[in-house]
Amino acid sequence: MRLFEMAESGHKIDDATYEKRVKKLRADLLDAQYDLKELGAFPVVVLINGLDGAGKGETVKLLNEWMDPRHIDTYAFGEASEEERQRPALWRFWRTLPPKGKIGILFSNWYAELIARHARGKVRKRELAGRIADIQRFERLLSDENALILKYWFHLSEKGQQKRLKKLAANPLTAWRVTAHDWRLCKRYQPFVKAAEHVLGETDSAHAPWVVIDGSNENHRALAVGEHLFAAIRARIARQRALQKRPPASAKAQRPSAARSPGVLTGLDMSQYLSDKKYGRELEQWQGRLNLLSRHPGFRERSAVLVFEGMDAAGKGGAIRRVTAALDPRHYRSVPVAAPTEEERAQPYLWRFWRQLPGHGQFVIFDRSWYGRVLVERVEGYCSEADWRRAYGEINDFEHQLVDNGAIVSKFWLSVSADEQLRRFKEREETRFKRFKITPEDWRNRDKWPFYETAVNDMVARTHTEIAPWHLIAGDDKKHARVAILRTLCERIEAAL
């Protein structure tokens, strides 16, 4: 087990040397922590994993003593709760990510359960590879969103673990920390360490490296983690400050080409129309069908994630109201998405959407969504070209996790012609109770129509998947669009059930 050989060599640091180095380290860590907070440019995600008895808890306790605990969030994860099992496996970890400028310490994180199951032979080879790939993509996303990821594995030799657990069990003050579960794990030392070595080897990367800590000496392990943490934060701060001195990229250069080219939107038949009589009949039919599906016994183990995107004045709000009219208010949430708040800007862009995911038997309806990264943020230059280009893969991965967990993902693009949009804009200006719907920003966006059209074509081409396809809805006639959406949604749920 070559990965752990250096951690079994018995590093020792005497008390006098320890006290001398700790005095300097505490001041260094506090300085780095406050520089991190003041800069506010990146979060620090600290993952704590390892063998029982190797000093994980004691070391984290020291870190909270040495630094300002007001700017450290510490979480310990056990077995997933019923609420957590109703969402994708990474949901509970997304919710605890630290914002920019803070440190988050996560015990028994996304590695703990996977390694334990692998050691017991409870995870098949294909599932193991898939879970590892999910973790790799997750950490790559966090890194691309500028998070500093530090992963510590606390290790002991087999004899060292037995000795450590016996010492803890013999002391009345610490005996409570050693459970029957710990002793069972100790007896399975070899398969556990072999499983850990495999997972660590597969997930060690330049952007999220593993640091193996010898846990046999409390002075050594505390200094090893503290000094590594300080050096990593200080190096990232220096790099961030150097980046901030560079001139910003031109937002204009980040926009898609305005040149018109054939795309998915050009094939829509915008002349589709429903008479008032047929609309009333079909609306009632499909709303009734949706209501029955929402109460179907099979839906109790599923959830529905609805995404509504479209040009301004395309009729998203009206379509959403026709969907929610068919649902029990206790079983759905509508999430209107606007510009991110200060809290949301301090997190990866997908964070605010992960927080809103539904439990079983629930609908969540997004009025605009995570596709803002490849639409408005792309066109307006709010993110770099590298950011919106990598977002296609991140979005596909996000939606894949939703579907794997039982969510029925339905994505609707409401298309409206330029002439019809202009008519609706003017109607809003002239109708007193509709004036709140029209803003100067709507007119500015209309001037950028070719840019948005190109971005939409790229979005559909890159994120239309078998498990989460796009449904393009001709929206010049609102009645036709509303019925088409209800019919498509019912068919999607029926197929899933």
Give me the pLDDT at residue 251, please: 47
Cross-strand pairs, 304: 363, 408
Give residue 474's pLDDT: 95
Q: How far is CA 75 from CA 98, 176, 240, 413, 453, in A?
A: 11, 20, 27, 39, 44
- Cα(243)–Cα(241) distance, rounded to whole angstroms? 5
Query: According to the model, what pLDDT value does residue 65 have?
Result: 96
pLDDT at 253: 42
pLDDT for residue 264? 77
Q: What pLDDT score was predicted for residue 258? A: 52
Tell me the C-alpha distance between 319 and 383, whole Å: 30
Side by side, the strands of the sheet bearing 363-367 are 332-336, 363-367, 303-310, 407-415, 470-474
pLDDT at res. 426 = 85
Backbone angles phi, psi at 306, to 5 degrees: -110, 130
Residues of the chain below pLDDT 50: 1, 251-254
- From the number of C-beta atoms within 10 Å of its C-beta (0-12, 13-18, 19+), residue 216 rates as buried
pTM of the predicted protein model: 0.90
